[in-house]
Amino acid sequence: MLPKFLLADNSQETPDTIFVVHTEEPKFIVESDIEDFWSNQEVHWLSDVPNSEETINQLLAEAEQFLEDEFESQENLFEEEEED
């Protein structure tokens, strides 16, 4: 079973861009600036686009929260490694 969200990047082609992949229906990929999720954001729908703007906004908010949590988790991991 895949996680609900995955992180992806392509540092050779787009070093300042990060991709958040939503693996459940409706499937989509959010392409955004690595420093600011809402900057230059583009959503690539792999499934039919939901009819509800509220649903779309909720999915994007969940994607942003996932990204923030992942960055925080990475920072904590790096801090723990530096302490060792």
Q: In the block, which residue shows the tokens 């600036």? A: 33
pLDDT confidence bin for 84, thresholds 50/70/90: low
Q: How far is CA 79 from CA 10, 11, 76, in A?
A: 25, 23, 5
Rounded to 5°, angle at Cα 37 from 33 and 38: 100
* pTM for this model (two decimals): 0.86
Phi, psi (degrees; rounded to nearest 5) at 12:
-80, -35
Beta strands (DSSP E) in the chain are 5-9, 17-22, 28-33, 42-45
- Write the pLDDT tens digit of every residue in 15-42: 999 999 999 999 999 999 988 888 889 9
